[in-house]
Amino acid sequence: MEKGKIHIYTGDGHGKTPAALGEALYAAAEGKQVIVIQFMKGRGLSENEFTRRLEPEIKFFCFEKTDTEYADLTSRQQEEETMNIRNGINFAKKVLSTGGCELLILDEVLGLLDVGIITLEDLKNLLEAKDEETTIIMTGIQLKDEVISLADEISKIESMPIA
């Protein structure tokens, strides 16, 4: 994977996150620092014993406080989780502006656009904080036309019926 690029893994198929995590393993094996921030996955992998063993090369973060699906939360709970998730976006921006890693994975960040937690402008502002050396991988099921122009490479993962 070329450094300093923006990659998107999208589509309705399973495997977007595993593909991104595979890139994280490759980067870590090359001695690079990797940060993975998971969104819309409850507490994600951040509290997992296995992922803690991957530190310090690969660090996992999740800012959500509940494992309940966002759509199933009460409006008050959604407000709280929205604040938590926006803290995660702010953290990502800080990582990018300080050169805190060589690979930043924003897992399911595209889903935040779908539910209105962030806007396209928020995403653009985040990506503008990136330096020339940092590679970003974003994942999500839906890919809005406006997001396509932000990427250097897009991989589409689709489910196919087996006959």
Q: Check: CB of residue 118 under 8 Å from CB of residue 86.
A: yes
* Domain topology for 6-142: Rossmann fold (3.40.50)
Instruction: Name the residue ranges covered by the structural domains of the chain.
Output: 6-142
Q: What is the pLDDT of residue 67?
A: 78
Rounded to an integer, what is the distance from CA 120 to the centroid of its chain? 15
Say what percent of the chain tops pLDDT 90.
71
User: pLDDT digits over 82-92, tens only?
Assistant: 999 999 999 99
Round the average pLDDT of the chain to a whole number and report it: 90
Smallest CA-to-CA distance from 62 within 82, 39, 79 is with: 39
Token couple for 149: 């122009």
Q: What is the pLDDT of residue 1?
A: 65
Q: What is the pLDDT of residue 103?
A: 97
pTM: 0.91
Residues with Cβ within 8 Å of residue 22, at least 6 apart in sequence:
none
Q: What is the pLDDT of residue 40?
A: 80
Q: Check: CB of residue 33 under 8 Å from CB of residue 102.
A: yes
DSSP 29: H
What is the rounded average pLDDT of the residues 95-104? 95
End-to-end Cα distance, the chain: 34
